[in-house]
Every structure is written in structure tokens, then in C-alpha cells.
């Protein structure tokens, strides 16, 4: 694969899980050739693989509890504290700046109560994140197609939680695919709420496939809005490749988003 020279306005990354049929070493080699700076959503034992290829991990996995069992349920707070108490110092030592977290599924918990529960559970974890200068980043996911009953499913709810937590070390992962499904109005949302966003993910709608003209989002325009907001973090490609080959699809997606 020919080495690409990218424009430098976007820090490009790629999510590991979309390329599970390719070894992590092979994905890292391809990422370097394409011009990416990061391979993300790695587990701690995988960080060093990215590092040895001269790449960063822009966003690490967090608690093994994952998406369904998050901070909105007090029953999970002790386990989440234990998981992040172990992980955050390791992330800081490795130079990783962002670690993912989730609200959890509603399971009958109202949005108002979910906000309160999340803020209570996050308080000690965020203090630890502040101590180690790591960001805890909650992902916005759709509850319409992929993650039924997930609570942090609208930008406004995530922003309200950020305000309630009140720390620069707690922000949002704005997943463009998920938020197009839930609320649309992507560019205006980015313009309004960009100070709350620590990370972005891509994905074509519908189907989370390539970010090309087979889907309904105008990714060059979205990327230009992200750049115009002054954002200096990473944009992670998180589409499921279905074209001529997964790495060719990755390269094409990066080129579309390299504005």
C-alpha cells in the first residue's frame, strides 16, 4: 500500500473491532501506510502493539462491564470504581489520554434519575481521572437500532451530565452514526456542543458501512465543521467495511474525511 500524505487538519484513527479478521499488527502497519496516527478501542494488553508501530491509542476500552451495565445503575458503581481505579493509572503511565465509559441501559430508570445516578457514580472516578490527567469519555449511542434501552442516547442528555459532573476530564464521545439515527442535525449539534466533545466516531447511515456516497451523511462537510470548531483531538473511523477489501475501504474512508 502506497504511503499517503494527509492534510494534517484531522488526527485520524481507526477502531480495532471493525477489522477483527486482520491481526492487530497488520492493521497497525496498514494504518501507518495510510497516514493514521492511532488505532483505538484497544484493551490494555494490546496498547503496546500500537506503540511499537509508532501509533497511539486515542481511546482505550474501559470497564469490562461494557455497554449495558453502566453508571446509571448504583448496583454497578463499586465494580466500575474498582475497574477504573486499576485502569486509569495504567492509562496515564502509557500516555493514553482518553478512556471510554457508558451510561448503561435504562431498565426502568428515568432520564432524570439516570443523570443523578451517573453523576454520583462518576464523581470518585472523575476525581481519579483528574489526578492522572486522563479523560473519561462517555459514548453517545443510538437506542433505536443497535443498543435498545441505552440511556445516553441524545446529545442534550450527555451535555446535561457533563454539566452535572462539572469536570474538564469528563466529556462525550460523539458518534456521528449513532446521533444521525437518533436526532440528525449533526453539523448544528457539533457547532453548538463541541466544547463537550472529546472524541468523534464515523460510520455510514444506514448500516454503519462505508462513509461514501452510498449513505446519507456528507462526511466532508461534517469534517469541515469539526475542524472549524477548533477541535484538536482524534476522529476514529468506525464503519464496517464491505467493499473490495477492508483495508482499501479504510483508506478510502480516511481520504473522504481528510479535509
Q: Which residues are catalytic?
A: 139, 238
Contact criterion met (CB below 8 Å) for 234 and 205: no
Buried b (16+ CB within 10 A) or exposed e, 197-207: bbbbbbbbbee
What's the rounded Cα separation, in Å, for the pair 148 and 143?
A: 4
Contact (Cβ atoms closer than 8 angstroms) between residue 33 and residue 257:
no
Integer angstrom CA distances of residue 30 from 13, 89, 232, 253 = 12, 30, 23, 13
DSSP three-state, residue 67 = coil
Cβ contact 181:142 at 8 Å? yes
Amino acid at each position: 500500500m502506497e504511503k499517503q500524505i494527509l492534510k494534517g487538519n484531522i488526527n485520524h484513527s481507526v477502531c480495532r473491532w471493525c477489522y477483527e479478521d486482520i491481526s492487530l499488527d497488520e492493521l497497525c502497519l496498514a494504518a501507518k501506510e495510510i497516514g493514521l496516527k492511532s488505532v483505538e478501542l484497544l484493551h490494555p494488553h494490546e496498547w503496546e502493539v500500537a506503540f511499537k508501530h509508532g501509533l497511539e491509542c486515542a481511546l482505550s476500552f474501559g470497564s469490562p462491564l461494557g455497554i449495558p451495565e453502566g453508571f446509571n445503575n448504583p448496583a454497578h458503581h463499586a465494580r466500575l470504581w474498582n475497574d477504573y481505579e486499576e485502569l486509569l493509572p495504567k492509562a496515564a503511565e502509557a500516555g493514553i489520554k482518553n478512556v471510554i465509559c457508558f451510561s448503561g441501559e435504562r431498565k426502568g430508570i428515568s432520564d432524570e434519575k439516570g443523570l443523578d445516578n451517573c453523576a454520583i457514580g462518576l464523581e470518585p472516578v472523575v476525581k481519579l481521572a483528574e489526578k492522572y490527567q486522563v479523560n473519561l469519555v462517555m459514548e453517545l449511542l443510538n437506542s433505536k437500532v443497535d443498543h435498545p434501552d441505552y440511556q445516553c442516547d441524545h446529545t442534550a442528555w450527555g451535555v446535561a451530565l457533563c454539566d452535572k459532573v462539572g469536570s474538564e476530564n469528563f466529556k462525550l464521545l460523539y458518534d456521528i452514526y449513532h446521533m444521525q439515527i437518533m436526532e440528525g442535525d449533526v453539523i448544528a449539534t457539533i457547532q453548538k456542543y463541541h466544547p463537550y466533545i472529546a472524541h468523534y466516531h464515523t460510520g455510514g447511515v444506514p448500516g454503519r458501512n462505508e462513509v461514501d456516497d452510498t449513505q446519507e451523511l456528507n462526511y466532508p462537510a461534517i469534517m469541515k465543521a469539526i475542524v472549524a470548531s477548533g477541535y484538536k483531538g482524534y476522529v476514529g473511523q468506525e464503519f464496517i467495511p464491505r467493499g473490495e477489501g477492508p483495508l482499501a475501504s479504510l483508506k478510502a474512508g480516511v481520504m473522504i474525511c481528510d479535509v
